[in-house]
Amino acid sequence: MSDPDSIKTSPKNVARSDHKVSRKDISPEALKVLYHLKDSGYLGYLAGGGVRDLLLGRKPKDFDVVTDANPNRVRRIFRNCRLIGRRFRLAHVFFGEKIIEVATFRANSTPDPKPNAEDQAEGPSVAQVQPNENRHGSLLKTEDGVILRDNVFGTPEEDAIRRDFTINALFYNIDGFGIIDYVDGLKDLDAGIIRSIGDPRVRYQEDPVRMIRAIRFAAMLGFHIETNAYQAISEFREVLTKTSSARLYEEVLKLFMCGNSRKALDYLFDTGVLGVLFPKWNAWLAEDPDGRIGEARRACLQIDSWRQAGRPPTPGLLFSVLWGPFLESIADRRRDLRCGEAITLTIMQYLYELGERVQVPKRAGYHMAHIFSSRHRFSRTNGKQPARFAERLFFHDAFDYFKFSVAESAKESELVEWWNAYIAEHKIRRPESTSAQSNDPSPRSRRRRSRRPRRRPRGHHQSPKQT
């Protein structure tokens, strides 16, 4: 496939009798949104990863809806709705703690070299994109082709061909329960292929994160990346440096939490993306590829094991397992500091330097520092020290890291057995929800917003209490 704008195809409509997607596998909340849009006179399709996973017999993490109703219209249809996003305007429909994301069909457009004053604030080199005739919204790109804002509304076909990969461009139509396929996504789904829609070199420049997504889908689903799409990752990997570091953190976290992080790590090595995201860690691994890369793969297997056991690691634990030997090798050179101080300073300095590429939150860094500096505490099994240690919020993550790091040590295995018995005897449970244990890639849920204090009018003075 070439440029998405040049792709013109008739949709393949697959009847309900010829596919495995059933309404009983779709969340009740998503069905309510689909039927409410239909009853209001609009199209309502399930789209993206939800349809892909249902067709593969997997349980979707969440369900996304697309419609021909624009965001403001969606807000009027659903009282329990809030519009979010500037780069990509979306509607969130709330059902208690659950959220159904509703997007309007998008279309590609042609650039106008005269951005307005507001758009110039987006960056030094931007070009506004004018919507096609009878379209609403705006598209904003940098001169390098990176999309900054994408709010040009279009048709279902236009929406399908502007998506990243063919397997993510399938629609489920609630009106008739059929599958709509504009880009041969079903064919690639059956063949196990991650194929870019359009020229991958152009698509990766528009949104560099698509390279990481290609790797994640290939690892998670056990698919292979189509040759042109794979080669373009190696060719354009440096474009990732133009992406928001906060967004790259979210994508990296999803990547290592995909359930097959070892395969994802191999893709990162082979394409050179690891060196773009984590240059110092990558250089350290390259000094002893046989030993150190083997340890990194073992760390990934442990992450996958926790994930499959139904208790995915926190970001702090995940990066501790991945970077443990690397960070400890740096901290060991700080002989002027105590062990705990050295590892804490090493972690925070590394995350500060890394922040230009991947912005790992400070809370994850502090959590890592607790995990590393707690290792010696597992040898203290006398008196009240075990009870005090076990009360700390980071205790379980610290113990998980300790078990992983001493797995091949017979001496330390006795301590692991002692602590396992202690935890069972005293019924010490892992905290269900703490700020340190939050995971970004969890299913979409509603975040409570704190209320802002009411602003008083200028010149207002509180009258003194009367006595």
CATH class (in words) of the domain with range 9-105+153-191: alpha beta
Instruction: List Cβ neighbours of 25 (8 Å cut-off, separation of 6 or more).
Output: 54, 59
Split at pLDDT 50, 70, 90, the class of 439 is: low
Tell me the per-residue pLDDT of 336-367, one tens digit each, with 9 for 90 and over: 888 889 999 999 999 999 999 999 999 999 99
Overall average pLDDT of the 6-13 stretch: 73
Rg (CA), the chain: 25
Tell me the per-residue pLDDT of 266-283, one tens digit each, with 9 for 90 and over: 999 999 999 999 999 999
Instruction: List Cβ neighbours of 162 (8 Å cut-off, separation of 6 or more).
Output: 4, 106, 107, 108, 154, 197
Determine the pLDDT at residue 432: 72
Mean of per-residue pLDDT scores for the chain: 87
Instruction: With a cut of 50, say whether residue 133 has pLDDT above it.
Output: no
Q: Are 137 and 107 in contact (CB under 8 A)?
A: no
* Residues that are catalytic: 62, 64, 164
Instruction: With a cut of 80, say whether residue 317 has pLDDT above it.
Output: yes
Determine the pLDDT at residue 184: 97
Handedness of CA 266, 279, 318, 387 (dihedral sign): positive
DSSP 102: E
Tell me the per-residue pLDDT of 446-462, one tens digit each, with 9 for 90 and over: 555 545 555 555 555 44
- Proportion of the chain above pLDDT 70, given as a percent: 81
- List the domain boundaries for the chain: 9-105+153-191, 108-152, 251-437
Overall average pLDDT of the 119-140 stretch: 45
Q: Which one, of 162, 168, 175, 156, lies nearest residue 214 by Cα? A: 168
Instruction: With a cut of 70, say whether residue 433 has pLDDT above it.
Output: no
Overall average pLDDT of the 414-436 stretch: 84
DSSP-based three-state secondary structure for 360: coil
Tell me the per-residue pLDDT of 231-270, one tens digit each, with 9 for 90 and over: 999 999 999 999 999 999 999 999 999 999 999 999 999 9
Task: Specify the CATH number for 251-437; select among 3.40.50.720, 3.30.2130.30, 1.10.3090.10, 1.10.150.120.
Answer: 1.10.3090.10
Sort 176 into a burial class: Cβ within 10 Å, 0-12 / 13-18 / 19+: exposed
Q: Which one, of 300, 291, 307, 310, lies nearest residue 263 by Cα? A: 300
